[in-house]
A and B are shown apart, each in its own frame.
Chain A
């Protein structure tokens, strides 16, 4: 079963222990694989591994499980859900052929949708390892994945945003202030999603109600989410809280997920409970998953796999539950997994490609931490590349600075920048709302109104009396 893979280069024979070893050695260089001790020992070994991997038949991935079937429920999910009929058109290809096929005109958007259930995460990861950044962009752009709840995500020439109004003490008015800022900058059509400071059912419920009231009062075609543990969200639903989306961080191995404190049955139970609330208007996708390369190794649950392959396997977990949104939080984990801007950019493009190829509504938290070798220019590059690749959504954080999670993501301004440069609109329901509310004069062209719409100016008049010192400037008339 675990055959070795060999490649002759001149007088030198390279040998790779098994498919997992070959995949790891073929992976473009990154610090997390070095940390795990699975990285290629030289640039030549990496290039040879890529050549060797390109000759592996796609069928081999169905025969050689990287983590044994008996040991891991994610492997079981991947194997049990594999669709042989969907696989049929590509079943004769090697990994290298698969790259050619994906780039060719045979792989239309319709064809890519037809085969997606026949592609396993390992096949997607393998082909991505021998694709250049431009290949990852070109093929992802052809993959169309449309999902909906109260807004529609993933249509052509659209880019949605998660409005992320986090506050270090979950202060209601502090969060509301960031929500207003985001809405007035045309952000929030993917979700208004809060990371609470502590995992607590009482607080999660309070935040859900805050967002629900805002969404209802202004009739915003979007959905809310508190990014708390799935078991908390389930408890919130049982207590009657207004739950739109169910959140969970997920990983690509059973052991990673148990380190996160859940298994597949928890996700199924929570999805079913949230579906029973019937809160969607234009669709029923209601799961929101976050992923990121390095989480499996961080939990010491990677089984000797490289981090990008583990990441792709997480998409099998996501795919099972028809999510509205899947977000790879690419630079959050830190420099021990993705060292610098170059590694973060490559990982963001890989994750987006693999997710889209597997049929997921893939977005990306284009981000970095202050201990990584990265800066705003790197994020500008990745954001622009993902916009070109047809990324479903990105984050919108006030001024790029998440004051609760202590990292930098894309800002409300950044979303408008990329929409303007690439001619991308928000989700159609939200676009109409932005114009109806007079926030934008031309939402498709990312053109903001210069005036504060009266309905929002009114909300400023409700500020506490003690804090109205400089409010005369707004409404002394």
Chain B
């Protein structure tokens, strides 16, 4: 008991009370066990937060290097034949710059005229209809796209290549200053059966690199969120590329089978990790799920 007293006592020399459960951070990046000065944050924690916020603010305004991304996708196409040999197409929304993008989501959802012309030309020459168009948009985090888009597409292509049905992919479309719904605009112009948008999600304090995936079946302008399925937080410290590809393949297959997407399409893919949740502890409950450390 004397040990316990040592662990969570107020330090009389500096007024800070530490939290012994801080070691639970092995399970989460959440800011737990911060300790306290009275009931407030200590100076150290308060200033650490201010730094993280400053970095996230800066990330919002960092532009995406589209040339580098385009080259990476070309390189990837060499190992993933599904991507085809057509070069990625770089298009732009109607939001001319970042400040416009932030304040005018309507403009970020639409392609500008030059981009529409470009995609219409593309549609003139399809050998057979596209089963899927991959659309990559910078969204609110260029970091997310720069770091996570290519590894995810690699994992997705591996999953699609092992599928028992063929997938005819449209050329990859790269959108500057794009929002989620711009995928529907692209998909409609390409006459693709489905569109999967990869977009940089709003940067969090602890996750400036989070990639979001949005699937629409039969994309066309003006659809609402009710017609989309979302897979969020794809990044090394979040949903892994392999896991995200597994979920995306499930949704794509179901969408193609049922000819729909959105709230009527339920994600029942389960988890790849289901069979190996050995890192969870405690006895399984009657349903067979492992229990958390909080429960005996």
Report A's interface with B, CB cutoff 8 A: 31, 34-35, 165-169, 171-181, 184, 197-203, 206, 209-210, 213-214, 217, 229, 231-232, 258-261, 298-301, 334-336, 339, 369-371, 375-376, 398-408, 411, 413, 416-417, 420, 446, 448, 450-452, 454, 456-457, 459-460, 462-464, 467, 470-471, 473-477
Contacts and interface: CB of A to CB of B under 8 A. Distances in A.
B280 A258 contact: no
B43 interface: no
Given A168-B207, A408-B205, A217 B295 contact: yes
Contacts of A167: 28, 30
Interface size range on B against A: 35 or more
A450 B10 contact: yes
20 contacts: A168-B238, A168-B239, A173-B293, A177-B21, A201-B268, A209-B285, A213-B291, A261-B262, A371-B102, A399-B30, A399-B31, A403-B29, A404-B232, A406-B210, A413-B40, A413-B41, A416-B39, A446-B39, A451-B5, A462-B282
A470 B103 contact: no
Contact of A370 (B3, B5, B57, B232): B57
Contacts of A179: 294
B21 A336 contact: no
B101 to A, nearest CB: 9
A232 B264 CA distance: 10
Contacts of A217: 294-296
Contacts, number: 263
Given A173-B27, A459-B293, A463-B293, 11 more contacts: A171-B28, A172-B291, A177-B24, A178-B30, A198-B230, A258-B226, A401-B31, A403-B207, A408-B205, A416-B39, A463-B23
A179 B27 CA distance: 12
Most-contacted residue by chain A among B8, B24, B105, B294 (CB, 10 A): B294
B294 A403 contact: no
Contacts of B295: 176, 210, 213-214, 217
B181 to A, nearest CB: 10
Contacts of B253: none
A178 B28 contact: yes
B31 A404 contact: no
Q: Which 4 A-B pairs have the closest CB atoms?
A: A399-B31, A406-B204, A261-B263, A176-B292
B3 A403 contact: no
B4 A457 contact: yes
Given A200-B267, A217-B294, A463 B202 contact: no
Contacts of A404: 232-233
B280 A173 contact: yes
Nearest to A171: B27
Contacts of A413: 34, 36, 39-41
Nearest to A182: B32
B30 to A, nearest CB: 4
Given A460-B23, A475-B3, A214 B232 contact: no
Interface in B240-296: 247, 262-263, 266-271, 279-282, 285, 287, 289-296
B18 to A, nearest CB: 10
A173 B8 contact: no
Contact of B45 (A369, A399, A457, A460): A399
B206 A477 contact: no
A399 B35 CA distance: 10
Contacts of B40: 413, 417
Interface stretch (B48-56, B65-73, B111-119): B48-56
B292 A202 contact: no
B204 A401 contact: yes
A259 B41 CA distance: 40
A451 B5 CA distance: 6
Contacts of A370: 53, 56-57, 59-60, 202-205
A448 B296 CA distance: 25
B106 interface: yes
A450 B105 contact: no
Contacts of A168: 29, 207, 210, 233, 237-239
Nearest to B6: A473
Interface in B89-130: 102-106
A394 to B, nearest CB: 15
B45 to A, nearest CB: 7
Given A176-B293, A370-B203, A403 B270 contact: no
Contact of B49 (A169, A209, A376): A376
B105 A202 contact: no
Nearest to A371: B60
Contacts of A417: 39-40
B224 interface: yes
Contacts of A339: 103
A462 B293 contact: yes
Contact of B102 (A184, A335, A467): A335
Contacts of A405: 204
